[in-house]
Structure 1
Amino acid sequence: MSEQKQPKPPSKSRKILLAIAMVVVLGVFPAISWIYLKNGLEWRKDALAELGSFGQIRGAYIIYPDGTKENQLAESVCVIHNFGADPDLTEENKQILDTNKRLYDQFGKMSDGTPRPFFKIVMVYEGGTAEFRSEIQKIPSIDYATWVQTGGLGSWGTILNNGYEKFVLDRKAKEHKRVYALADATGQIRCFYNALDEKQVERMVQQIAIMLPVK
C-alpha cells in the first residue's frame, strides 16, 4: 500500500499574500464602500440644500369635448422654459430645444418605452416663426404625454419672473435672461438654472433625479 502524501504547508510568501488579501477584503473594501456611501449622502444633502421655494406654478389644462378639464402638470415634476411671444429658431432657442430633447431621452420614458408618469417638459410660448414651430412639430405626437406646450404668457411670465427675482435676491446669484425653472410635484418652484450653461443644466438633471418618484 503506497504511502499517502501529506500536503505541504503554505510557504512564508504565500502566508504573507493571504494576509494581505484578508486585510484588503476586511479593511480596504469596506472603507472604500463607506467613502462612496458617505460621498453619495453628502452629495444628496448638498443638492437638496440648494432647493428652495420660489412660487407656485399655474396649471396647463386640456378641455375635453364633454367640458371636463385635466391639468397636465398635476403631481408632476416640471422643467419649465418661457420662450415668450413669437419666438424664432435662434441659436439660443435651438440649444434649449436640444436640451429639452436630452431631458426627454433621460427622463421621459420608462424602461419599456411608455411615457414616464409625473415628469413634464413645459414650453411656454405664443405664436412663433415657421422655423420655430417646425422644430416643435418634430416631436412625435406619442410623446406629448411628457411635452406640454402652453400659452398664457401673462400669468406664466408673472409667476416665473417673480420667482426668479426672489431666487436671485436670496442666492445673490447672477441674473440670466434664459432660465429653466424646476417645480416639484406640488407645483412649487424649487430652483432656477441658466438654460445655456451646461454645468447648471447638469445640476438640474441631478436634482430632477432626486425629486422624481422611484417608480
Structure 2
Amino acid sequence: MREAIQTLYAPGVTKRPWIEIEIAISNLNTIADKWLSRLPAEFHFAELDATATDPFVRQCADLGFRFYTTKLFISQACLRHIGYQAPSVSPGGALCSTMAATCVQMACKMLDMLPNEPDATWIYRVSPWWCVLHYIMQSTTVLLIELFSRTQPGTSEAIHLVEKIQKATQWLREMSTKDPSSRRAWLVCMDILSRHGERFLLGLTAGSTTRWSHTS
C-alpha cells in the first residue's frame, strides 16, 4: 500500500504523462494480485465469517481489508480520470476502463466483508473500529463517485450501487451511536445523499426503497 501511495499520490505525479501513470498502476496491480495468489488457504478472506470459531478470523479480516484498500489506492486514479476528465486531459485506454471497474468491484467486496446487519460488537472481534471506519468511508467514496459520475438512474448497476451504499450508511449509523468520528462520517454521507441521491431511488424494488434520511 505504501508503494502505491508513493507512486500514484506523491506531489508532482499529476505532471507526469497519463500513460506513465497507467503503466505504474498496471505494475502495482500485478504485484497485489500475485500477493493474493500466494496467500495460504487458511487466510483466505473471500467469505469471512466473524462468528465462526476459526482462530484466524481476525487475521483474515485484517488481510482482507488491507488487500481491498490497497487495490482501491491502486485503481482509484483510473476511476477519477474517467469520471472527472477535463477536456485537455488525454482519455484513458482499455486499461483505465478495466481498472476503474476493478475499483468499484473492490469497493463492493470491501463492504461485503461486513455482516448484512450492523453489529458494533463484530468490529471489536475483527479489527480496531477506527480502521473499519476508514475502510467504510474509502469504499463508500468510490461508490458515490461511480454512482454520481457514470451511472444512469434506474439501471441494474444503479440499484446494486445504492444497495451497497445503503449498507455502508447503516453501518455508519450503528457506529455513530458510540463514536463521534463515525457520526460525523455518517452525517457527511447523508448530507451528500440528501442533495444528490434522490434520483437514484427510481426503479428500486419495494424491499429496497428505504429513503435517504439523516434523522436520529
TM-score (norm 1): 0.27
Larger radius of gyration: 1
Considering fraction of residues, name the structure with more strand: 1
Higher relative contact order (CA 8 A, sep 6+): 1
Considering fraction of residues, name the structure with more helix: 2
